[in-house]
Structure 1
Amino acid sequence: MLEFRYLELEDRAWLQPLLMKTSTMGSENAFGTLMIWGGDYRVNVCQRQGEVFLSFGGQPHTYYFPIAYHDLRDTLSVMIADADNKGFDFRMWGMTAEQIALMDQALPDTFVFSIDRSGSDYIYSTQELASLKGRKFEKKRHHLAKFKKTYRYTYEGVTLHNMADCVAIADLWRSDNAAQLGDSVDKEYCALRRASDNFEQLGLLGGLIRVGGKPVAFTFGEEINPDVFLIHFEKALDGYDGLYAAINQEFAAHNLTKYQYVNREEDMGVEGLRKSKLSYHPVLLLEKYSAVVREDIMQ
């Protein structure tokens, strides 16, 4: 039986290098994602004879694709047996198309796979986000130009010295959206505060915009691997037309040019969020899949 425990901040030292070695672009392959959302989703880790397993949820829990393994056939068999021994149905989530192909090769005709469109990640060209060149970004350039013409603003990187300004923006965002979005606002705010409280320890990077000296927008993220940067949070106060476009472009242009891609996470099935993410013309929709064991095999 696999012995899982809660993920802790101290695990970053050994787990982060393993996550990077997977070379995947998914948001769940960033340690910060697992850590800052771990309180809400109960992210757990298990080390066993050189293999590393991750899961989320209580009992029953859902398995991620193994982070380190020797023989995938044996590792998947151990995971299936672990769920059976604990008395719940086996389920995995977050796999890419390449990973489900590996699973099907390792244990043919064993799994039923389903795509999770709402949980799939939007991947963008960093160069395109920073420059907004081309006809497809004409509306974005116009929006950004209007913001720059209307407001006297400054951009700066996030440090511990201006973290309180970011938190102040988050506090206002929370109060403005609590009635409309309900519990999801509190969950995101708690994750955001875990990020702000552990900013340096998690190796996060961020940007902040001020208008007339007042902090009005910020963004936080982290490196998934040397090619891909992940955006965790992007918040802006109401009343400043074009502010979200500005923080997006400024952060990409000032801080992310060494990365080829930017992962801006999933849309969670929210129509407005999906429309917004598509409007920036992703170069890839990184599809995520779930897996269960075929019923006839489990009988």
Structure 2
Amino acid sequence: MGMSHAYGGRGNDDESIATIHRALELGVTLIDTANVYGNGANEQLVGRAIADRRDNVVLATKFGIGSGHSVRGDAAYVKQCCEESLRRLGVDHIDLYYQHRVDPDRIEETWGALSELVAEGKVRYLGISEASAASIRRAHAVHPVTALQSEWSLWTRGIEDEIVPVCRELGIGIVPFSPLGRGFLTGAVTSVRDLTADDMRRTLPRFAEGNLDRNLAIVDALRELAGEKDVTVGQLALAWVQHKGPDVVPIPGTKRRTYLEENVAAATLELSTEDIARIESAAPETAVAGERYPAALSRTTNR
């Protein structure tokens, strides 16, 4: 997402493509995009990056978010979005196709259309994003849900009580997005002044002045633990997500090879039960200041 959308600054397509290629060299095979990232530009970028190495990639994309954060799930829209994504990506099938946000009035219609895309060979597996436990069950009753993509990190743990257990009951993999708290848990952001004027994080309550200062205390506590293991605070936070289970595949985003390699190295970091307890004690969910989204965006999550 960050290569084309949301986090400000001009994208560098050459570096982005080099980063995707380096990811594949390092054994990262899941590449995740969406039709809404850069209004289709990110799918085109990913398509160019994987054009000569399609067989090495598990390609995931999404549909369902329209203009002004509207949500659509009608069958005609589902099929239209799929055809547009296939064209932009330059592929004949999508490995994992997510409903990006849930249209709760049309889950059965949406998933009926998605099931038809699987039957036609245009999509291999289906996923859902930011869905409630009840919506996951409804979708799964129409066609098996392969993966749930929702936010999960040390400062966003809302899926743990109900949603993760339902996924495990139904055999659904869990793909946490923003496992580094939109970059905050790396320690790279210490003030809103660190963010460009067009960076979406300026609109998020947790990055607002006051809240941000309180949240920096969490990073400081984690930094001490990271220092004991000679890793970065971002690597520690990412390893914590990775250790939530063998069915958990976090997808940290990055625009540069340097940060990619740092993230990949976190996959080899071993954490003991005691380590995890200390991390969670240093970063308790109750210490996080601010909601994760403003009200307009919150209304489209956990539906």
Q: What's the TM-score once normalised by structure 2's chain length? A: 0.31
Structure number with the higher strand fraction is: 1
Answer 1 or 2: higher relative contact order, Cα 8 Å, separation at least 6: 1
Structure number with the higher helix fraction is: 2
